Homo-oligomer: A and B are copies of this chain.
């Protein structure tokens, strides 16, 4: 079954979606929110595409490869931006995004 073949990717995507949405929420609570606007934007982009790809994998979509390719790019960008900020939620998000980008490249 497609969704079992991709089980590792599903776990990593889910972790990345969680980390990005948590980072989005946390950035909006920071004192230096002005510094975090690019991070807030990319967190939303990345959380949304990870959630979308998760759903696509589990319904055995014929477009997993193409979507994973877009997702890898968004994860790369989000990882790069988050890595610039010292907040724990940003560092954790950067890590989750890097792992997710790698998993996406494997299935794209």
Residues in A lying within 8 Å of B, measured CB to CB: 1-3, 10, 14, 17-18, 21-22, 24-25, 28-29, 33-34, 37, 40-41, 44-45, 47-49, 51-52, 54-56, 58-63, 66-67, 69-70, 73-74, 77
Contacts and interface: CB of A to CB of B under 8 A. Distances in A.
B58 A17 contact: yes
Report copies per complex.
4
A42 to B, nearest CB: 8
Contact of A59 (B24, B49, B55, B67): B24
28 contacts: A2-B25, A3-B18, A3-B22, A18-B58, A21-B59, A21-B60, A22-B58, A22-B59, A24-B59, A25-B58, A28-B37, A28-B40, A28-B41, A29-B37, A33-B33, A34-B34, A45-B56, A45-B61, A45-B63, A47-B55, A48-B55, A49-B63, A52-B52, A62-B77, A63-B70, A63-B73, A63-B74, A66-B73
